[in-house]
C-alpha cells in the first residue's frame, strides 16, 4: 500500500511540474512545423483536385470510341434521316421552297453540359469557391461583377477615365 502511494505522489509531482522555457519553445516550433506540413499537404491536395476537375470538364468524349455510344448515334442518325424525309414531303405539299424548309438536326455533344465555355466558367467558379451558390455562378459566370470594384479604383476622380 505504501508503494502505491509513493508512485502516485511521484506521478502527481511530475504532472504538476511546470514546462521550462526551452520545452515551451521546442513545443511551439514543433506545432509550427506540423502546421506548415499540414498547410503544404492541403495546398498540394487542393491543386491535385483542381487539376483533376479541369481534366474532367475538358475531356472530349467521341462516340466512335465506345460501341454502345456508336450504335446509339447510328440509330439516332437513321431516325433523323427518316424524320427529315417526312418533313421534306410535308413541306413540299405545303409549297415551301427547299431552301426555307425546316429540318431536324442531330448532333453529338462531346462534353455534355460542359460543351460551352460559359458553363465551364460556372463550374470552375463553383469548384474554386465552394461557398458560392449555383445562382451566384449563373448570375456572374465570367466573374465580371466581381471585377467591377477593382475597375472603379482605376478611375480618376477628375475625368472618370481609366488610367
Tens-place pLDDT, residues 36-64: 999 999 999 988 988 888 888 777 778 88
Would you say residue 90 lies in a domain? no
Q: What contacts 27, CB < 8 A, 6 or more positions away?
A: 19
Domain carrying residue 33? 21-59
48 part of a folded domain? yes
In a domain, 7, yes or no: no
Number of separate domains in the chain: 1
Residue 29 lies in a domain: yes
Residue 31 forms part of a structural domain: yes
Residue 45 lies in a domain: yes
Answer for the pair 86, 136: CB distance below 8 angstroms, yes or no. no
**Is the pLDDT assigned to residue 5 strictly greater than 80?**
no
Q: Which percentage of the chain shows pLDDT scores above 90?
A: 39
**In the predicted model, is pLDDT for residue 82 greater than 60?**
yes
Asked whether residue 158 carries a pLDDT value surpassing 80, the answer given is: no
* Nearest-angstrom CA–CA distance, 115 and 121: 11
Within 17-116, residue ranges assigned H as helices are 21-58, 67-94
- Average pLDDT (6-14) is 60
The structure's pTM equals 0.44
Say how far residue 98 (Cα) sits from the centre of its chain.
46
Cell of 114: 460542359
Count of CB atoms situated within 10 Å of the CB of 125: 19
pLDDT score for 96: 95
In a domain, 47, yes or no: yes
74/108 Cα distance (integer angstroms)? 11
Amino acid at each position: 500500500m505504501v508503494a502505491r502511494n509513493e508512485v502516485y505522489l511521484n506521478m502527481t509531482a511530475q504532472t504538476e511540474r511546470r514546462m521550462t522555457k526551452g520545452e515551451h519553445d521546442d513545443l511551439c516550433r514543433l506545432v509550427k512545423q506540423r502546421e506548415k506540413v499540414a498547410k503544404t499537404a492541403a495546398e498540394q491536395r487542393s491543386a491535385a483536385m483542381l487539376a483533376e476537375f479541369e481534366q474532367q470538364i475538358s475531356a472530349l468524349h467521341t462516340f466512335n470510341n465506345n460501341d454502345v455510344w456508336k450504335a446509339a448515334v447510328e440509330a439516332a442518325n437513321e431516325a433523323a434521316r427518316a424524320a427529315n424525309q417526312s418533313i421534306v414531303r410535308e413541306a413540299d405539299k405545303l409549297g415551301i421552297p427547299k431552301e426555307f424548309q425546316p429540318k431536324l438536326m442531330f448532333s453529338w455533344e462531346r462534353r455534355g453540359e460542359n460543351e460551352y465555355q460559359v458553363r465551364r466558367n460556372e463550374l470552375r467558379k463553383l469548384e474554386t469557391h465552394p461557398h458560392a451558390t449555383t445562382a451566384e455562378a449563373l448570375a456572374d459566370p465570367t466573374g465580371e461583377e466581381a471585377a467591377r470594384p477593382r475597375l472603379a479604383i482605376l478611375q480618376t476622380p477628375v475625368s472618370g477615365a481609366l488610367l
